[in-house]
Amino acid sequence: MNRIDLNKAPWRDFDYPRLMENELDGEWPAGSRYFSVEELPLYPFAGDGEHAALTVEKVDMTTRDLAVRVADILGVGGAAVGYAGMKDRDAVTVQSFTITGVEEEAAADAFTEAGAKVLSATRHRNKLRLGHLAANRFEVRLRGGDLKIASDALQELTRLGLPNYFGPQRFGAKGDNAREGYRFLVGEIRRKKVGRWKRDLIIS
């Protein structure tokens, strides 16, 4: 399986279909305050159980970075921290975490120290795992543009939905996630030699 040359990757020049003939012509400025992601839970937390369960808001950090910081602060292994999905770094994101065998007050203090804002803290009976979410709600803030065209586009999006285009986020920084995933599946890479985070990426 050949490695992808990201400089020549097909998604760079692909003429993606457009929802409307008229372009909105707005500007998407750089900065996390123009992009937000809210995780919608698959189920409510039970209120009891062996796992601290928290919903937090983070800004300008990845899910993994936050999980690692919290684990270090609490002195627990990385496997004790569970989450349902990987959220963007350059964004304001809201998502839930579970931590095994820790009081929710201590977990809340750890998330605060790690730079996140704690929105709620309770307990739950199982660890959150990838995929334990109903959906993600995205908000993109544009500057300028035609509001009438934007309103028409939103109506069409509501009616038709939005295609899930993806490229480097799934193929990896070096373009070799598919090759590495294949090697993992056929046993060329041993499970114990691949960390949880990388394993989740290459098989996604």
Which of the residues are catalytic?
88
| C-alpha count within 13 angstroms, C-beta hemisphere, residue 185 | 10
Distance CA 122, CA 45 (A): 7
Q: Provide the 3-class DSSP secondary structure of residue 106.
A: helix
Cα–Cα distances in angstroms (integers) from residue 41 to residues 29, 96, 131, 134, in the given order: 29, 8, 10, 5
**What is the spatial distance between Cα 23 and Cα 18, in angstroms, rounded to a whole number?**
9
Q: Which two tokens stand for residue 147?
A: 């509001």
Alpha-carbon distance of 37 to 133, in angstroms, equals 13
